[in-house]
Amino acid sequence: MNRKQLIEQIKIKKSFLCVGLDPDLDKIPSHLLELEDPIFEFNKVIIDATHQFAVAYKPNIAFFELLGPSGWQSLKKTIDYIPKNILTIADAKRGDIGNTSNYYARTFYDTYGFDAITIAPYMGSDSVTPFLRDDKWAIVLGLTSNSGAMDFQNQLLQSGLKVYEQVIQTCSQWGSEENMMFVIGATQEKYISDIRKSIPNHFFLVPGVGAQGGSLKAVADAGLNKDIGLLINSSRGIIYAGNDQDFGLKAQEAAKEIQLEMESVLLKSGLI
Amino acid sequence: MNRKQLIEQIKIKKSFLCVGLDPDLDKIPSHLLELEDPIFEFNKVIIDATHQFAVAYKPNIAFFELLGPSGWQSLKKTIDYIPKNILTIADAKRGDIGNTSNYYARTFYDTYGFDAITIAPYMGSDSVTPFLRDDKWAIVLGLTSNSGAMDFQNQLLQSGLKVYEQVIQTCSQWGSEENMMFVIGATQEKYISDIRKSIPNHFFLVPGVGAQGGSLKAVADAGLNKDIGLLINSSRGIIYAGNDQDFGLKAQEAAKEIQLEMESVLLKSGLI
């Protein structure tokens, strides 16, 4: 899915919501555990319930990988089930020497058919550039939402930039706004407007709203650009809104509530 | 496998060789392609041929992941086949928010039974510490062997340290020499002796000898410590030494040659 198509979907749905799929056998409703593939059945209900409010799904690969080979079968079925007008993001945080990154790109783009993958930038250019392709997205970790983000990302370089600023500035030269996004944590709201100034056109994938404490409105105020430029992720707040037979309905209500807040933000900003 | 057991194995085998398992359907001998699980059959021959010269095996997870769910079955069979007195390292370069890193740790340590996993440190403490366990090893990327290593790892901080030095110094305080190692690329030989001074006791996992151009002797001169403290990896130079019916024999010869060089180094250093 390319940038134009993504923006079009956001405007049609009046939503820049990404639903994070973190399916956990210890948390999904117990009645699903009797089925042959509980993880897929859970995702299927969530997708059915939320797809009209979401423009992206982001499976967290760790939750599938934990289950062994069958987890990857559930992942493949999940990706195949997601409507084609919705962006699919492998939250995999891969990154290795060029030769190996190329394998990871083939895995997620070709074997599984994802539109996008999250990338850890520590190993530099040859670890990132294999993920750049037309109509695909390398989503590079910029400033993350977790407490550990302060340990290295926030260190000040002699150049005057912080590490995350250097990462964003350098990586944005390898890719373009057509094939690269950045992960910017919602919990970092005081930094988002400065990051937006440094890269006015790139999309940000923003985790951390909800369970991790970030505010949708604050992120939107600081991060929206003329093409919207934001995908805000919510995982646990939607998929575990309920944990009984009606968990799909609960997820739908939670997704719709966020979509309505997004619609209001987009209207106020004159973007729709 | 704990530190004492690892050092014991190195002394018994007079080798600190780690064999990298990067099985590629495009490169393995063609007669294997007729078998039901060519990737496992290839690894099996390589392990049979090299286990007496190696103290560690390092499957590169990208090569298995590319093949879809069946690749993970081949991986599991490979790990189960490796003799228990040999360290198994998942070269996976994982790292995510604490909750998710915990899932990755469970995946590689519990679902697949690895002794160790390589970790990308960009996301900081909560992304690294879930991999710290007794008798297991978090192997953190310090200074990597690829060209892109210069992009961010080598940037100078206002503290006077380079990013990789800060990463090594900070991470080494989270773990200990009993549960943490660092990836230090063989192509970075001019930096290795300084890194050794900063962390005298930790093991280094050193990729980049062979295909990437690093020298075993230079790495050993700079990196050995009183407990040896090095695992030097060779992948392509061993596993693709041959590509015909006799590829096991060729791999064995290549592994033995490296082991003999290591034995000579250990003898000259008075470590055995």
Q: What is the pLDDT of residues A21-62, one digit of tens each?
A: 999 999 999 999 999 999 999 999 999 999 999 999 999 999
Instruction: State the pLDDT at residue A32.
Output: 97
Answer for the pair A97, A123: CB distance below 8 angstroms, yes or no.
yes
Which residues in chain A are closer than 8 Å to B128, comparing Cβ atoms? Answer: 148
Lowest mean pLDDT among A120-129, B88-97, B215-224: B215-224
Answer for the pair B165, B198: CB distance below 8 angstroms, yes or no.
yes
Kindly give the residue spans of alpha helices, DSSP state H, lying in chain B: 3-13, 38-50, 61-65, 69-81, 98-105, 125-128, 149-152, 163-174, 189-198, 216-223, 236-239, 247-268
* A interface test, pick of B89, B122, B157, B236 with most A CB neighbours within 10 Å: B122
Which residues of A participate in catalysis according to the annotation?
A: 93
Q: Over pLDDT 70: what percentage of chain A? A: 99
A125 contacts chain B (CB < 8 A): yes
* B interface test, pick of A65, A70, A162 with most B CB neighbours within 10 Å: A65
The answer to whether the Cβ–Cβ distance between A153 and B127 falls below 8 Å is no
Q: Kindly report the CATH number assigned to the domain that includes residue A155.
A: 3.20.20.70
Count of domains for chain B:
1
**Could you give the angle at the alpha carbon of B255 between the alpha carbons of B252 and B258, nearest 5°?**
150
Threshold 0.90, pTM exceeds: yes
User: What residues make up the domain containing A30?
Assistant: 3-268
Going by their DSSP bridges, the two strands B56-59 and A203-206 should be labelled as unpaired
What is the average per-residue pLDDT within A70-91?
A: 98
The answer to whether the Cβ–Cβ distance between A148 and B100 falls below 8 Å is no
Q: What is the dihedral of CA B164, B165, B171, B176, to 10 degrees?
A: 130
The answer to whether residue A211 scores a pLDDT higher than 70 is no
**Angstroms from B208 CA to nearest CA on chain A:** 10
């993880």: which residue's tokens?
Answer: A39
The answer to whether the Cβ–Cβ distance between B120 and A144 falls below 8 Å is no
The answer to whether the Cβ–Cβ distance between B148 and A170 falls below 8 Å is no
Q: A161 is written with which tokens?
A: 């930039």
The answer to whether the Cβ–Cβ distance between A126 and B147 falls below 8 Å is yes
Each residue's pLDDT tens digit, B55-90: 999 999 999 999 999 999 999 999 999 999 999 999
Which residues in chain B are closer than 8 Å to A73, comparing Cβ atoms? Answer: 69
Which residues in chain A are closer than 8 Å to B89, comparing Cβ atoms? Answer: none
Residues 166-205 in A contacting B (C-alpha not used; CB under 8 Å): 166-167, 170
